[in-house]
Every structure is written in C-alpha cells, then in structure tokens.
Amino acid sequence: MRHKLTLYALLLSLLAAFTLSCKGKRSDRKPETVKEAASAPVIGQETILLLKDLEENGDYVNSQYFPSLIKASVVNEELGGKNLVLDLRSPELFSRGHIKGAVNKQFSGLPEYFQSGIKPFEFDKIILVCEDGQVSSYTTALLRMMGYGNVFAMRWGMGGWNKAYAEETWMKGLSGKYEDRLEVVTNEIPVAQGMPEISTGLATGKEIGDERFRNLFGEGTASVLISADDVFSDPAKYFVINLERKDKYDAGHIPGAVRYKPEETLGFADVMATIPYDKTVVIYCGTGHNSAFATAFLRLFGYDARTLKYGNNCFMYDKMVKEKSTLSWLPFTLEESNDFPVVK
C-alpha cells in the first residue's frame, strides 16, 4: 500500500507557515519529480483540516473505487433492480428521450435531493447520466467525497447508451486538428509554492467540506469544462496537467503540459502545492472522465480547475486511432455505444 502524508498544523502564526508530518506512516516521502522549495509552501489551516477529514473518511481519491464509472451495458442489465438512474440533462433533452425509470434532476439541486428527497443508501447503485459522461463524472466525484459511496457515472453518458446520442455528442467532439502542435519535451513539475487559501471561518474539516461542497454545487458546471480550441488558442495562459502514462505523455502532449501521476497527486499536499493557484488549471486524460474526477477534487480545494472535454479525443484523435495497438489509446467509436431503448 502506498504511503501518504497526513498533515498536522503547528501553532498558527502570522506567516501561516506549517510543517507537514505523518501519523502512523512514513514522514520522509519526497516524490522524485517534486523540486525542493526555498521555503516551506504555505498551506492554510482550513486546507489541512479538510485534507485530514477526507483522508480519515475513506480517502476516496486514492481508493480502489476512484474513478467510479459504470458501463451502459451493466446499467441496462440491472434495470428494474434496486438502482436509481439520475439524468442530469436539461428537462428538454430529458423529455425527448431517457432511460426507463430515470429521474431528471439538475446539478444544483442534488445536495438537497440526497438529503431529503431520497434515502440514498436504500439503493444498490445511484447512476448519474448526462450527455457524454463529462458532467456526471465531475458530479459523481463530488458526491463520493461527500460520503455517498454508491454513486457512479455512466461511461460515455447517453452516448454510450444509444448510438443516436453518440452521433450528437462524442462523434461531433472527435478531432485531430491539433496533432501538428503537440510537443514531446518533458516539462518539469514546478517548485511547490502553496495551495489556495480556504476561508470559511469554520472549525472542523467536515464543516469546511460541507461549506465547500455547497459552494461548488451553487456555482454550477458552466466553468468546469473547457474546449481544445480554448486551450490551443493560448496554451501558456493555462497550467496544463496531463494524467496519462509516461509513454503516452512522451508520445505527444499539449504544449507546456506537465505530467502528474494520478496515484501520487490528489490528496498529497506536497505535490498539490506545486500546482499554481494563480492560473487556470486544465486537466486532461484520454477521454475526459478521469480528468473530470480530478477536477472536482482540485476545485474543492479552491483551484480554478477545468477538465478538457473529451480528453485526447478532441485534439489528437487520428493519432490515437493510429497508435491504438501500441499505446492502448481509447479513441471513441460507435462500437463503444449501444442501441438500448429510451422512453419519452
């Protein structure tokens, strides 16, 4: 099992400097890719409390359940069972066609719905569905971190349920238009400077987390996604995080992108402190699912994080198809979709 830093704050001071230590685990962990800072990175007391609370309550982002994706074929097989399908699309799209038995709920109303509208743990699974799986992945991560351990995002969204929806979402998002602008140089992880300051004024990690979750659901999802056109228009404007394997990163990535290891980043304050909090952070992976989960975690801690919609599929699709067998890329095709029925 991997060793993880647990944070304890020393006495609060005007300089807000804290020493990172470990409880019951190694305290000398220093990832090779993280450079030594001239001074200790500044990490606020509320950030430390929230990190500690999440770790003590399952450490979801470093558990075997992360990310929590489910195939459309499994959802179809289990229809009629003790599962609940929540469709996060607009009422208009929902009325045109949805999975039998699905309930239409909007993102902002989910916390109240989970608290008073249903008894979440009476269901075996609560499955979130959206157009293409991007928003539902982000939402699933938030709900999982809130303690709802039976929530899943349906892979590919409605695009995985029925090919007609895939034609309107994923198939229109596939592109190789920026393949000629990829770079292969290795960009180093920056020196740790600190993490965004969380200032809720609350005293416990749970209280701080509850307030942060309320804020994120109140903000909506409009600023969660970002397109390849936006990123490639000025890559230097963003701090771009690549969550792929090293061989995939080495094969070509967005200019300036820095590779972070998914299993040694989220929840590790010494690594998270290397992510600049004065720039918009763009996270991408192969399909946009994993990066959406990671985006939820960073936004919880105050980063202006965005997930690249459709991941690599939206800017280097032809390359993914060509190198599928050698690098095990996952380019979306209609073979990933099904022909399951919808009701109106």
Indicate whether 34 belongs to any domain: no
pLDDT at residue 312 in the model: 98
Indicate whether 7 belongs to any domain: no
- Residue pointed to by tokens 């489910």: 70
pLDDT single digits (tens) 24-72 = 332 334 444 445 555 678 899 999 999 999 999 999 999 999 999 999 9
**How far is 11 from 96, CA to CA, in rounded Å?**
58
Domain housing 134: 69-174
Statement to judge: residues 184 and 275 lie in one domain: yes
Indicate whether 235 belongs to any domain: yes
Contact (CB, 8 A) for 277 and 303: yes
Statement to judge: residues 201 and 103 lie in one domain: no
Mean pLDDT lowest among 7-21, 198-212, 272-286, 325-339:
7-21
CA nearest 266: which of 296, 310, 307, 223?
Answer: 296
The confidence band for 2, taking pLDDT boundaries of 50, 70 and 90, is very low
Would you state the torsion angle of the CA atoms of residues 232, 141, 290, 133, taken in this order, to the nearest 10 degrees? -80
pLDDT at residue 42 in the model: 86
Q: What share of the chain is helix, strand, coil (3-state, %, to 5)?
A: 40, 15, 50
Mean pLDDT of 93-120: 97
pLDDT at residue 287 in the model: 97
Statement to judge: residues 150 and 82 lie in one domain: yes
pLDDT single digits (tens) 218-276 = 999 999 999 999 999 999 999 999 999 999 999 999 999 999 998 999 999 999 999 99
Residue 4 has pLDDT above 90, yes or no: no
User: Distances from the Cα of 182 to the Cαs of 260, 324, 335, in angstroms?
Assistant: 18, 17, 27
Statement to judge: residues 169 and 234 lie in one domain: no
Residue 22 backbone phi and psi in degrees, to 5? -135, 145
pLDDT single digits (tens) 329-340 = 999 999 999 999
Query: 151: which 2 tokens?
Result: 């929530």
Statement to judge: residues 139 and 187 lie in one domain: no
Give the H or E element holding residue 112: helix 110-112
Indicate whether 31 belongs to any domain: no
Statement to judge: residues 59 and 160 lie in one domain: no
Statement to judge: residues 198 and 234 lie in one domain: yes
Sheet holding 103-104, edge to edge: 69-70, 151-154, 125-129, 83-87, 103-104
| End-of-domain residue from the set 174, 195, 223 | 174
Average pLDDT, the chain: 90
Query: Strand (E) positions, the chain?
Result: 69-70, 83-87, 103-104, 125-129, 151-154, 225-226, 238-242, 258-259, 280-284, 305-308
Statement to judge: residues 150 and 205 lie in one domain: no
**How far is 13 from 288, CA to CA, in rounded Å?**
40
Statement to judge: residues 73 and 129 lie in one domain: yes
CA nearest 104: which of 120, 90, 118?
Answer: 90
Residue 14 has pLDDT above 70, yes or no: no
pLDDT at residue 38 in the model: 53
Query: 73: which 2 tokens?
Result: 């074929």
pLDDT at residue 24 in the model: 30
**How far is 10 from 126, CA to CA, in rounded Å?**
41
Indicate whether 254 belongs to any domain: yes
Indicate whether 344 belongs to any domain: no
Q: What is the CATH number of the domain that holds 256?
A: 3.40.250.10
pLDDT at residue 41 in the model: 81
pLDDT at residue 39 in the model: 66
Statement to judge: residues 146 and 191 lie in one domain: no
The pTM for the full model equals: 0.90
The single-letter DSSP state of residue 140 is: H
Indicate whether 262 belongs to any domain: yes
Number of domains observed in the structure of the chain: 2
Statement to judge: residues 226 and 131 lie in one domain: no
Identity of the amino acid at 52:
K
| End-of-domain residue from the set 148, 174, 200 | 174
**How far is 43 from 72, CA to CA, in rounded Å?**
41
| End-of-domain residue from the set 127, 154, 174 | 174
Indicate whether 208 belongs to any domain: yes
The sign of the CA dihedral 189, 194, 200, 206 is positive
Statement to judge: residues 245 and 136 lie in one domain: no
User: Distances from the Cα of 45 to the Cαs of 102, 309, 332, in angstroms?
Assistant: 42, 33, 43
